[in-house]
Amino acid sequence: MKGLKETFKLIKFNALPIFMYELIMRVLSYSVLIPALYALVNFSVKFSGVKYLYKSNLHRFFHSPTTYIFFVLIVLIYAFALMLNIIGVIIAIDASRRKERISSVELFFRSLVRTVALLRPRNILILVAAIFLLPISSVAFTSLSLLNVQIPSYIVVYFSKKKMLLNTLMIIYASISLLFFGLIYLIHSYVLGKKGFKKSAKDSLRLLKAGGIRKVFGILIFNLLVVGAIFFLSGTLTEIMYRVLKVTSSKKSVNYLIYIATVNVNKLLYIPMALFTFPMIFGYISVKYYQVAEMHPEVLTEPEKKHRIIHKINEKDEAWREKRRERTHRKKLASFKNDPEKYRLYKRAVLTMVILIFVVLDAAYYILVSVNILSLNAAHLRTAVVTAHRGDSKHAPENTLAAFELAIENGADVIELDVRETKDGKIIVTHDKNLKRTTGIDAYVEDLTYGEIRQFDAGSWFSEEYKGEQIPTLQEAIELIDGRAKLNIELKPDVQNKHLEESVAELIEEYDLYDDCVVTSLQYKAIKKIKEIDDRIETVYVMSAAGGNYYDLKYADNYSINYRFIDDHVMRNCNQRGKEVYAWTVNSAEALESVMMVGVDNVITDDPGFVKDSMYESYNNGLFSYIVARLAFE
């Protein structure tokens, strides 16, 4: 393909500045664009009359007129950012065509000037047109971006009930996009010809009519080939990684393994593909633009009108003013160019300043998010840590080594277990004070020695498959898990206990579990005692209900709360104090959806495999995981 070969050639000439520019665009999007969009979403939520976006108030949110005003603003801001990227590529490719070397700094500022000029009345329609041009001109890049968009499950459900409305909107958008098909060269005419919307639109239509229709179809075919390449490469790598994980990982949760594979492939491919795809697509469109323009130069030459009114001569001529600015800029740089060393230092200083600005903005954004000053007032869709409640107690006898092993195989991030002290001071893993429910023996833990308890069968009550399963010690559980998952050690203190907290703290120190475990309890005095013994141990206060002013308890690092009592008020108060929220015990899809929507940090469940599969499947982790998983494995 001649056009493809020419595109590679032009990109190669200014390869480093182009890819540096693309990298700057990615940093800029994370440090400026995302916070700006967050702020607009928050304002739209506020002006719609709701404090926090939930499934229950979506109807009110989507029926507020202000929602759509902010939606238009969000789309325009996103279009502006895309245009900054597109214009940069067009300028760089044009420089390559003229055999001109261009620095990434100069490329950025020239692109910024032309993009800001879009906000002028005579150019603003170009920005609007770009919204409808992108699906046609850049199918590949649009696909690559959408693959990583997280779509709220509750919003998907909301619109799935309004299929007529959704289908109508999609048809309208697709129809308008097709009508804009003739403006495929609009942006090039604006950037290279320095013309307003009206003249750029005329140029594009004339070029299309003069022989560019076939070349436009070539652009679409090129995009589809890139899309195919992206899916083939990502699908192939995902399948390879999945099969490797299936063999090497002890985890059996299929959706979880698919998720891990797709996320890792996503991280591996997204940045290089994003840096490479955008220049390739718009470089290819530029090549086609040059080919048509060279064949029909008369199209781009607008004849002078004989009778021009005097006051129109005095109108602002954007092209002339732009050339004048460029000449002034070149004169300023002339003195530097006479001194190569001085000019080199100048370019480095400007580039360093730009990078530092982006780094500071990026750091500020993540700091504001981490301390909950900047947050999205909508239900969080990120995945949470999954804790297996007493192991995989849905499929194995609770608080046994078998339950812990099965929980790890099913993808649990943390194993929760209960500990009590025996008569002879051993720390064993069991929940109940009386052992009758799990062993059939009507006796109390504190009245028995570990040797006596060791004789009890803690598996037969669950099923014959686990007959002979013993009550383990905490030390045995730690050694079995061996870093494959973290630990949630819940203290079950009794008045007859003498060294429960001390013994647990000693084991944590002995196995150096400070970064891999938390100690929890329903009794606040127990976690207080743990903190007093060793303040390096992270503690979690377990609550059956969330009420009152418990947020500032000194010895509670985090809180574990019955999921029915967790709402946005609880989350906001805990997050503002830097404390995580654990939700217990989540065993249904409805319960999982409710806690995920408010953004809990840790989900405690009897069935870790089910929660992992539910959490990582479908739209909750973006279209990338969803589409690739379906294409690769169905």
Residues recognised as catalytic: 389, 431
Going 448 to 449 to 450 to 455, the CA torsion angle's sign is negative
3-state secondary structure (DSSP) of residue 542: strand
**Residue 490 contacts residue 399 (beta carbons within 8 Å):** no
Q: Rounded CA gap, 96 and 8, in Å?
A: 11
Q: Rounded CA gap, 539 and 518, in Å?
A: 5
* 548 Ramachandran zone, left/alpha/beta (phi>0; psi -120 to 50): left
Q: Rounded CA gap, 392 and 398, in Å?
A: 7
Q: Which 8-state DSSP code applies to residue 378?
A: B
Q: ∠ at Cα 346 (342, 351), nearest 5°?
A: 150
**Residue 348 contacts residue 566 (beta carbons within 8 Å):** no
Q: Which 8-state DSSP code applies to residue 183?
A: G
H-run or E-run covering 31: none
Q: Rounded CA gap, 452 and 81, in Å?
A: 71
Which token pair is 260? 């891990």
Q: Which 8-state DSSP code applies to residue 473?
A: B
| Per-position DSSP letters for 262-290, written without gaps between them | HHHHHHHHHHHHHHHHHHHHHHHHHHHHH
**Residue 273 contacts residue 230 (beta carbons within 8 Å):** yes
